[in-house]
Amino acid sequence: MLRRSKQWLGGIAGGLALLTGLSGTGWAATPGSHYNYGVEGVMAATAPPPGWHYRMYNLWYNPTEYKNNSGNTVPGKFDLNVFASAQRVIHVTDIKILGADYFYDFVVPLVDQEFTQGTFSDSHSFTIGDIEIEPFALAWHRPRWDAALALAVIVPTGHYEANEPASPGLGYWSGRLTLGGTYYFDEQKTWSVSALTRVLINSEQEDTDVRPGSEFVAEYGIGKEFRFNNWMIRPGLAGASYWQVSDDSDDNLAYGIVSDQHKQAHAVGPELNVLYLPMLFQVNLRYLQEYGVENGPEESRIIATLTKSF
């Protein structure tokens, strides 16, 4: 277990509902998503060894521009301040299914966000968002590659009102399929390249009666691992892409929803992961700059992740 714990430097199959979902008049498409892309990064498809693991994701995001359906900045004042902290508990069991470790996990996000558009402002201070439950996940570990498959559901436990753009919840259920892999270029597993994909299918949103379109997310990265006595350090380059791949179920102009205008966003940036081996405690820092955004806010985001294995 210790050997595999050393190899695991921050990737976990599954995902996270760090919510920055918004619902504002004049927005081109159903805003928000139950997966905030870019929260995993390098080795995202490598799950931990058997045991219990606690992970805290922290996200800072402060976009001041909103992009329209053509990718151009919408005129006028726009400001979104988000801090989200998600608590995740993972249990990797000794049960083998198809040669893979079976594991399960759940995520409880806490969200603090303030939204301003023109003269309108709305805020919610550090309250619970929509909880994620991942009851079925499989992780394969081989000498030169890892792989992961997972199924999850996101439950609308957070407060949601269509006329409150800073609502911590999104007002609908989501189902999610996760699939990804990590490849190691050398036998010592110091060089890695990874990709993790997710598909989200959404239910009808309360208040608007619109079912948001299906979503596809890809997170990827390349990293190099170094060891210094009791420390393992892995710098890397991480990226992420998000696409809404189907129309919303219907227009609802009262809430600014135009069903055939899809959301899209991409981000890339550096990552640093540090693991202290005697305590199996690690810190992951990632800075991502967004680009190519359509129908959504665009800015840089900072993600800090703390993980403790038991």
In this predicted model, what pLDDT tens digit does every residue of 49-108 receive, in sequence order?
A: 999 999 999 999 999 998 988 899 989 888 989 999 999 999 999 999 999 999 999 999
- Answering whether pTM is above 0.85, one says yes
Handedness of CA 225, 223, 149, 83 (dihedral sign): positive
d(CA 307, CA 286): 14
Task: Specify the pLDDT at position 256.
Answer: 63
C-alpha distances in Å from residue 284, one per residue of 18, 39, 158, 220, 274: 16, 10, 27, 15, 6
Reduced to 3 states (helix: H, G, I; strand: E, B; else coil), residue 277 is helix
Tell me what pLDDT residue 120 has: 84
Pairing outcome for strands 174-184 and 145-155: antiparallel
What is the Cα 174 distance to its own chain's centre? 14
DSSP of 233-272, one letter per residue?
EEEEEEEEEEEE-S--SS-BGGGTB-TT---EEEEEEEEE
pLDDT per residue as tens digits for the range 223-279? 999 999 999 999 999 999 999 999 888 766 666 666 778 999 999 999 999 999 999
What does the pLDDT look like over 163-181, one tens digit per residue? 888 888 999 999 999 999 9
Residue pair 216/202 in contact by the 8 Å Cβ criterion: no
pLDDT at 225: 95
Q: What is the mean pLDDT of the chain?
A: 88
